[in-house]
Amino acid sequence: MYLQRAGFHVRLIDRDAPGKGASYGNAGVIAVSSVEPVATVGTLRQVPRMLLDDLAPLSIRWPYMPRLTPWLLRFLAASRPQRVEEISIALREICQPALDAYLPLMEMAGSTSLVRRGGWLTVYESDEAFAAASESLALKRRRGVNFDVLPAEEVRQMEPRLAPTIRHAVHFSDYSWVTSPLALSQSLAEAFQRQGGELRQATVNGFDVGASGPERINSDVGAFELEPDDLVVIAAGAHSKPLAAQLGAKVPLDTERGYHVMLPDPGLDLRMPVCHGESGFVSTTMDDGLRLAGTVELGGLAAPPNWRRADVILQHAKRILPGLNDGGAERWMGFRPSMPDSLPVIGASPRFRNVFLAFGHGHLGLTLAAVSGRMIAEMATGRPTSINAAPYKPDRF
Render the burial of 143-156: b for 16+ CB within 10 Å, e for the rest. Answer: bebebeebeeeebe
Q: Roughly what angle, to the nearest 10 degrees, separates helices 81-95 and 134-142?
A: 60
- Taking the C-alpha atoms of residue 293 and residue 288, their distance in angstroms, rounded to an integer, is 14
Burial of 203 (0-12, 13-18, 19+ CB in 10 A): middle
Residue 79 has pLDDT above 80, yes or no: yes
Coil, strand or helix: which one is 208?
A: strand
Coil, strand or helix: which one is 69?
A: helix
Q: Is the dihedral of CA 282, 283, 284, 286 positive or negative?
A: positive
Phi and psi angles of residue 58, each rounded to the nearest 5 degrees, phi first: -125, 115
Burial of 202 (0-12, 13-18, 19+ CB in 10 A): middle
For 200-217, write each residue's pLDDT tens digit: 999 999 999 999 999 999
Coil, strand or helix: which one is 201?
A: strand
For 18-53, write each residue's pLDDT tens digit: 999 988 999 999 999 999 999 998 887 777 777 778
Whether 259 contacts 310, CB under 8 Å: yes
Q: pLDDT confidence of 164, banded at 50, 70, 90?
A: very high
Amino acid at 203: T
- Taking the C-alpha atoms of residue 57 and residue 50, their distance in angstroms, rounded to an integer, is 8
Q: pLDDT confidence of 342, banded at 50, 70, 90?
A: very high
Phi and psi angles of residue 52, each rounded to the nearest 5 degrees, phi first: -95, -25
**What pTM was estimated for this model as a whole?**
0.95
Amino acid at 123: V
Phi and psi angles of residue 70, each rounded to the nearest 5 degrees, phi first: -60, -40
- Taking the C-alpha atoms of residue 309 and residue 266, their distance in angstroms, rounded to an integer, is 20
- Taking the C-alpha atoms of residue 161 and residue 151, their distance in angstroms, rounded to an integer, is 16
Residue 376 has pLDDT above 80, yes or no: yes
Phi and psi angles of residue 278, each rounded to the nearest 5 degrees, phi first: -70, -40
Task: Name the region of 349 (left: φ>0; alpha: ψ -120 to 50; beta: rest).
Answer: beta
Amino acid at 25: G
Mean of the per-residue pLDDT values for the chain? 95
- Taking the C-alpha atoms of residue 192 and residue 11, their distance in angstroms, rounded to an integer, is 10
Q: What is the pLDDT of residue 109?
A: 98
β-pair partners for 391: none
- Taking the C-alpha atoms of residue 197 and residue 105, their distance in angstroms, rounded to an integer, is 14
Instruction: Show Cβ contacts of residue 13 under 8 Å, excluding neighbours closer than 6 positions.
Output: 200, 201, 202, 204, 217, 219, 224
Give whole-number Cα distances, 291 to 31, 223, 306, in Å.
16, 39, 18
Amino acid at 51: L
Q: What is the pLDDT of residue 273?
A: 98
Chain centre distance of CA 99: 14
Q: pLDDT confidence of 249, banded at 50, 70, 90?
A: very high
Q: What is the DSSP letter of 361?
A: B
- Taking the C-alpha atoms of residue 348 and residue 380, their distance in angstroms, rounded to an integer, is 9
- Taking the C-alpha atoms of residue 114 and residue 179, their distance in angstroms, rounded to an integer, is 5
Mean pLDDT of 307-324: 96
For 2-16, write each residue's pLDDT tens digit: 999 999 999 999 999
Q: Give the sheet arrangement for strand 204-210, strand by strand.
A: 204-210, 213-219, 222-225
- Taking the C-alpha atoms of residue 50 and residue 43, their distance in angstroms, rounded to an integer, is 10
Mean pLDDT of 343-372: 97
Report which secondary-structure segment, H or E, holds 225: strand 222-225
Residue 151 has pLDDT above 80, yes or no: yes
Whether 209 contacts 61, CB under 8 Å: no
Give whole-number Cα distances, 388 to 92, 93, 99, 384, 385, in Å.
12, 8, 18, 9, 6
Q: What is the pLDDT of residue 341?
A: 97
For 97-144, write each residue's pLDDT tens digit: 999 999 999 999 999 999 999 999 999 999 999 999 999 999 999 999
Q: What is the pLDDT of residue 44?
A: 75
